[in-house]
Amino acid sequence: MPHRSAAEMQELDADLTSGLIVAQHRASQEDWPFYVIGAGLPNLPSVLAESRSYAERLFLYSTIGPLNSDAARGALVDPAASVGGRYQPDALEMILDAAEGYPYFLQEFGSAMWEVSAGTPFTVADAIAAIEVGTTHLDQGFFPSRWDRATPSERRYLRAIAETGDVAPKTASLSIPQRAAGPFRAALIKKGIVYSPEHGRIGFTVPDMAAFIARQPYDDGEG
């Protein structure tokens, strides 16, 4: 029987991660019908490699990015249509722009549309209200689950990333000395809040984290 878990793989405890890698390695050597299939944030390959250096040879990695325009549109329009809902074109475009193709954001904004709208078709005014409500929901749960794991000093590093305005800025461009930034960078990568898409660059593991950070007041310890 396959074992199923709701946790993303980078969040598994170290012993379980190591055990899965060792089991997969042995299975590949012995030609056993055993497979590890999982999903995680962009830092997952590095987490696996840190656990066992040979992990990179055991797995095939596929990057799952945002939904394309047609898929994102269908994610909003099709469920609504199944129960008689309809979007005005401009309202639909506003929600699509706000979600940026990210499935969870589409879910939040789409759900919020039903909360704020008095009826169908959904209007631009409804879309504006839905984005506001959806963003509030994200600010209460999705983003804080990452932000709250960072120490005040680490948050200063996160702000430095956000203030560049780039999706993946060069680490040398941050307003923090490289020598001081190194430990913060390593800790935040380990926590799954940032990752390195290529050598010398850093980025957030989830979209719109920079906008969320801009909405947060400074902590006393950030200084």
Q: Using alpha carbons, select from 154, 159, 160, 190 the residue that is nearest to residue 172.
A: 160
Task: Specify whether 47 is located in the same domain as 26.
Answer: yes
User: What is the structure's pLDDT at 5?
Assistant: 47
Question: Average pLDDT of the chain?
Answer: 92
- pLDDT-above-90 percentage for the chain: 75
Task: Specify whether 53 is located in the same domain as 74.
Answer: no
Task: Specify whether 43 is located in the same domain as 79.
Answer: no
User: What is the structure's pLDDT at 1?
Assistant: 42
- pLDDT-above-70 percentage for the chain: 96
- Residues ≥6 apart with Cβ < 8 Å to 126: 91, 113, 116, 117
User: What is the structure's pLDDT at 222?
Assistant: 73
Predicted model pTM: 0.81
Task: Specify whether 108 is located in the same domain as 156.
Answer: no
More confident residue, 201 or 4: 201
Distance CA(130)–CA(146), nearest Å, equals 23
pLDDT in tens, 20-68: 999 999 999 999 999 999 998 888 888 899 899 999 889 999 988 899 9
Asked if 49 and 56 touch (Cβ cutoff 8 Å), the reply is: yes
pLDDT in tens, 150-206: 999 999 999 999 999 999 999 999 999 888 889 999 999 988 899 999 999 999 999
Where residue 15 falls among pLDDT bands split at 50, 70, 90?
A: very high
**Crossing angle of helices 44-51 and 14-30, rounded to 10°:** 80
**Crossing angle of helices 69-82 and 103-116, rounded to 10°:** 40
With residues binned 3-state (H G I as helix, E B as strand, rest as coil), the percentages for the chain, rounded to 5, are 60, 5, 40
Asked if 194 and 188 touch (Cβ cutoff 8 Å), the reply is: yes
Distance CA(179)–CA(128), nearest Å, equals 44
Task: Specify whether 51 is located in the same domain as 100.
Answer: no
pLDDT of 97 over the 60 cut: yes
Task: Specify whether 171 is located in the same domain as 204.
Answer: yes
Domain membership of residue 185 as a residue range: 151-214
Q: Is residue 4 part of a domain?
A: no
User: What is the structure's pLDDT at 217?
Assistant: 92
pLDDT of 4 over the 60 cut: no
| Cα 104 to Cα 61, 75, 82, 99, 223, distances in angstroms | 21, 11, 20, 8, 33
Q: What is the CATH number of the domain that holds 200?
A: 1.10.10.10
Last residue of a domain, one of 142, 173, 188: 142
Distance CA(188)–CA(10), nearest Å, equals 13
Q: Is residue 3 part of a domain?
A: no
**Total domain count, the chain:** 3
Last residue of a domain, one of 142, 168, 199: 142
